[in-house]
Structure 1
Amino acid sequence: MAAGLVSEINEEFLVCQICYNDFDRPKILPCLHTFCQPCLEKLFAAQADRNLSCPTCRQELYLPPHGVQGLKDNFLVSKLRDVVTKPGRPPANAQDVTICRVCSTGTGATFYCVDCREYLCQVCTDAHRRLKLTRAHNIVATGNSSPVMADRGDNNTSMCTRHGEINKFHCDTCHLVICLHCVVTAHKEHRYVEIEEVAEREKKNVRRLLPVARGIAFLQQAKLNEMHSLKQKWDARVDQTVSTVEARAKLMIDAIQELKQAKISHIQALYAASKKELVSAVQAAEENLSSAKSFVQFAESMDDNGTPMEVFTQARDLTGRLQRYIDNDNKGKVDVSSSLMDIQFSSTVTEGAEELDRLFGSLSIRAPMPEPWPTLPTIPSETPYETPKTVAKPSRTLNPTGTARLSTALGKRGSGDGEFDWAASVFVNNEGFIIATDVRNKRLQVMDEENLYGTINLGFEPWDVACKDNGDLLVTGDGHSIHVLDNQGKEKETINVEGFREKDKPSRGIAVDRLGRIIVSIGWQVFVLLPDGTPVHTLASSSHQLFGNQLRLTTNSDSQVIVSDWRNDIIKVFGQNGEFVKEFGLYGSGDGYFDYPTSVHTDDHNNIIVADSKNHRVSQFSKDGTFVRHLLSRDNGLWHPQGVAIIPDGKLVVSDRSENSCVKVYTID
């Protein structure tokens, strides 16, 4: 087994990964990676502080007071190099015969001294063990057996620097290896054990953690393989998408070129139809002009130079001709403007660009659906894990076949009592009271199906509201914090969310799952917190490439998180541990399509209810994202639905951004 292990040692384990040479005074870092002492000293000299980043894992490490020299030596690496790769490596099987390098008898070597790097016969080996200078050397057998230590005493290659004897004990008080003289002198009052005992004790700790490390290594390798696969798929998808865009662009360019030619041909056809008539009109006009000029010239000449007889004889004839010319000119006058149409081409650049962008197509950016990851192994512990208590919620079920009718319409646009300036969301607490966020008026309004009970004035614009299992309200909208209010509307505490990326975006969507955890969105990030605000994790695809920056969310009975992403016109579902599960929806107005989906809600059967604002409707989907029906539409008096919730008696509450009423209650029967 040992021989097999030695044969499988990776060459990378035996050379420094900085200089790629054999180790020179190998030093082991706290992260368990080993490098040459000179290489580490060069790295440390370039650092501004005492921290050192491991070149392999990039972990930030703090060096001991003596710097690199204070790090532990890695003797194991040195000895493995001697055994595995140095000249004179022990033969791997009995058929390989090596002559003893010490004596001149030509006897076959049966042992190998790691310290001297020499092959020894049995006689020289016995002498090696007797000499004081070499008796502590590490000697391994080279026969059919695996390389092993020649005897128990040879395992103890560590020598006491004070007494020159083998260190056979471990001082638990000082955490040092010591020899027998040290035991009876400097460490006589200390607690000590034999080195074998402490080694066995440490081995148990290593063995306890080894399965965990192997499991983590296995999962990390699987994850890396999946990442490589995803990268290849992503590269292929990007190339495919780019090709699709280029093909679409070529198609549209060709279509525009054809449209241009059609427009020009139409213009030229219109011109050709009128050109002949226009040419005839021009010729007639030129002839009439010539005649008119001739008559004027003759008349002026006769008037200036003609004799009375000439005037008398020519005037009557000239006057008649002139009258006939005038009459003919009036009768044959060509209306050129009636034969020529006013041709113009107009286009609004901005509107044209927007329409062209819509016709060209849009990118649908979605999160990939990776294979579910197995659970990471955990370190064995005697501390039992206590399952979190679930939050009890009142029954909320919609009539599966009923149609909607308006039951109550509350409020109107304004700032007075019972008036709203943007009711962005609605929430129904465990007692059945409706709580609406009055954003611009910086307050919450509490009501039932018929009456307004009161307001809770705030110093910020509230975006969303949820309820903890003890009845406390959670309100977002004030920077990166969550305000916690008691059931009287008084503030109890503020939970500050850490780790946000978009500093200018306030907390927005909020919900509480069955485990009592708080889920809140800030910009394109979605955070999962414990009830006291301790962060648990963020959702798996919380990146600006996958989310918009105004997210609304809810949870279902499986503690899944359903996120409404209005920018991408899509609904995304995540598991209890933050992993991506599915998504559904695209931009459009058909069944299952969205145009600015705002609030999202679930009923007791995990049906998903979506307020589809710009489509002027509220739609129902099954748990798996299949479209079921449109619960409400413009025919039900809906304009721009913002928030949606279900009252325990099965009625649907919607906040509508309209002029007439802001909170509407619908009966589904």
Structure 2
Amino acid sequence: MHFFSDDKMASEITLFEDANEEFLTCSICKDIFKHPKQLKCMHNFCQDCLQPLMNEATSRKIKCPLCREEVELTVDTVADLEDNIFLSHLCELFLVANLNTVDVLCSFCSEALNEENASRCIDCSDNLCDKCAKTHTLTCLTRNHQVILMSELKTETLVRKSREGNVKIPCQKHSNNHLEYFCQTCQVPVCLGCTVVDHVRQNGHDLINLNDGPTKEKFKEQITEQLNKLEEIIPSFEKHIDIANETEKCLIKSLEKTKNDIRDTAKSLIDEIEAHTKSLIEKVDKKAEAIQKSLEHHREAAEIRVKSSTKINQFARNLCKHGLNSEIMSSAKDLLRRMKELQEGNMKDLEGTGELCFVRQDEFKFGVVKECKIIERDEYNLLEYYTEKAMAVGNIVKRGPNWPTGYDNYDNNGYNGQNTIQSIQRNGPNDIRATVYFQSGFNMECKMNPGDYWLQPSNTFANYQRRLKCYAEHFMKVGDEVKRGLNWPLGSNDSYDERGQKSGKITQVNQTQTGTTVTVDFGAPDNQTFECPMYNGCYYLLPLQNSFPLIDWVEF
């Protein structure tokens, strides 16, 4: 920020350009520092702004509002925190240089100052109105001080003199003394009183004058060296910011998609539940209807039995009581038979109690939400990973992407056979050989060095398949160079890649719900393209150069 006119002279310094308003602004109150206090993390805040943090602290620690680092307090009050004298002086000069936009008061009578009536004592750094400036030059203690108009405080010489006027910094331990020495043993500035009490030369403390030029330059060199190192690593922090921004974009995009998927799933489940509800209600209605009919039939049969038994009982009693011998003798046979039938014909008990209930089952599973996590990161491409970590004796293998010419009869033209690794010799990272017994009856020593890869697994071993799946779902992109991979289809498809000897480039990647289908251009002479699936074990392609982290979806 420039505070002076565009036609300022070359002698004017750039102090106010470096120490601009942003540099001198407290990040809490957003105003120019007032009594700036410095925390151990080297961040500065106004004394009054730190007071609430001190009041809220439950222990002798506060969190820096900027870096969130916990700073342990060695003092009891905010006023006892270390002053940042450098910032205090710069803030004072900033206010002086901006009289027309900020309020600056006379150090003695508190009159508001402006460029027309304001002066400054370079020797004691007091701001003075016209009246107090005249008095200041008349007293015996200050009559030799240099008092200038603030409007003239715009040249390098005068600003430097004004800065030097503030050079007397009071000692925090001995308030009546100023800092005059630097204890090289303790690496702190001290006053004359400190050299008598805590920093005594006779006790081994090495003291030098604060104005010692070589010592100041040594510290400036050390600070500059560390500053350069810090500036070198700032781009790495910025890179992490970029990564965070990209991750946030991915989060926002995937968040909306995930919400929509949840809503769609919920809707489909609601429709399915409603259909299932309707079906259950229909079933329970039919069941209840059948039970109701059974109850009615049972009740009707019981009522008939009651009526029959009652009528026969009444007839039998009257017959026995009032009937003639001939009447009794003629009815007795049939009456006894019927009464016996009623006694022996007991009704069957009803099955069930007539009670229905709904039993909940885990038939409808709503699903869970998962987060993509990197579980392993390395620099291997897929065949390097197989060679270094997964290849073992007994593996079933087939022709790899760099199978040498003239050996087609060894592996049945590269189809999925039963070619078995007999032995592996790992002489070093660039000399790995495997002896293979081929289904055709031949034994052959095959290279598996970087760039050779005569072999690739015929079966999709669990971890190897996970890597292929991870590549297909998350990292496959247009431009990737590929060759024949696992489960390459039999037959006429051999012509596309000359039986594993030719690579192609992906021209299109189509992600669907069922998986990934890619289009590969195998180039001249026919510029043939072939659509290849890369899902559910049908990994028709193998990336040649790609290395990528292995990721997984974990429930949170």
TM-score between both structures, scaled by the size of structure 1? 0.40
Structure with higher helix content? 2
Larger Rg: 2
